[in-house]
């Protein structure tokens, strides 16, 4: 039962977590011991010297490691030093891998929501696109979900955005947070005036549909 779809937290529970990795993580104990994982090319860690090698690493692991159930994180970030041309090259490659191997895409987007939405409209991907660590306003949340995106919420978020989206578009994550995913879900259940158990049922069913029953 997956309830944490995106984590860099080495202590997160293996059986309920999708751990997120880039090529730089391949020799870590967290990578070796993960039960489920997503792999991608993070815009922060792109350079012209090893981008091709990162691309090869992603496809090799998709083909050879059955623990890989999603692509990402990958995407675009206007606040990082990597050129936007190089970011787009790596992102479109990850989209290609997502579509080729029928894997959901977990997206890192910083100040690029319009570009991401327009890209999805243009490419018309068949695989689900999930915005991880969503902190935007309700208007942006609604724009995303109206265009078929899923949203994943971590420790910090806009409470009105949580209340504005359909439950079948909802996920949770620890990301860099070293606490327990259940702490995040417990707080959200209070905001949404529901029980923790019901919310866990909702997001685990969403994860089951996206990552396992397709």
> What CATH number has the domain bearing residue 152?
3.20.20.140
Structure-token pair, residue 184: 């995040």
- 3-state SS, residue 16: helix
Burial of 117 (0-12, 13-18, 19+ CB in 10 A): buried
pLDDT digits (tens, 9 = 90+) for 103-134: 999 999 999 999 999 999 999 999 999 999 99
**What are the CA-CA distances from residue 200 to residues 35, 108, 189, 206 (Å)?**
19, 24, 9, 10
Q: Give the model's pLDDT for residue 214.
A: 55
Q: Which residue range forms the structural domain that includes residue 20?
A: 4-212
pLDDT digits (tens, 9 = 90+) for 188-197: 999 999 999 9
pLDDT digits (tens, 9 = 90+) for 141-175: 999 999 999 999 999 999 999 999 999 999 999 99
- Does the predicted model carry a pTM greater than 0.85? yes
Cβ neighbours for 91, distance < 8 A, ≥ 6 positions apart: 41, 43, 74, 75, 76
pLDDT digits (tens, 9 = 90+) for 75-112: 999 999 999 999 999 999 999 999 999 999 999 999 99
| Count of domains for the chain | 1
Beginning with the edge strand found earlier in the chain, give each strand of the sheet holding 129-131 in spatial order: 4-7, 17-21, 36-39, 68-77, 105-110, 129-131, 150-153, 170-172
């Amino acid at each position: 039962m997956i309830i944490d779809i995106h984590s860099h937290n080495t202590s997160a529970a293996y059986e309920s977590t999708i751990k997120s990795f880039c090529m730089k993580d391949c020799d870590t104990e967290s990578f070796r011991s993960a039960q489920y994982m997503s792999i991608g090319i993070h815009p922060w860690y792109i350079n012209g010297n090893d981008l091709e090698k990162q691309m090869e690493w992603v496809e090799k692991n998709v083909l050879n490691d059955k623990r890989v159930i999603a692509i990402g994180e990958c995407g675009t970030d206007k606040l990082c030093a990597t050129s936007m041309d190089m970011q787009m090259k790596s992102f479109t490659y990850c989209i290609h891998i997502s579509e080729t191997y029928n894997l959901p895409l977990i997206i890192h987007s910083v100040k690029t929501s319009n570009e991401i939405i327009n890209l999805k409209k243009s490419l018309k991907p068949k695989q689900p696109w999930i915005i991880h660590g969503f902190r935007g306003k309700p208007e942006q949340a609604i724009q995303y979900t109206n265009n078929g995106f899923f949203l994943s919420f971590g420790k910090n978020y806009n409470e009105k955005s949580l209340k504005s989206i359909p439950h079948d578009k909802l996920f949770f994550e620890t990301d860099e947070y070293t606490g327990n995913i259940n702490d995040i879900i417990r707080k959200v259940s209070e905001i949404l005036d529901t029980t923790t158990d019901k919310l866990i049922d909702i997001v685990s069913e969403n994860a089951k549909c996206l990552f396992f029953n397709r």
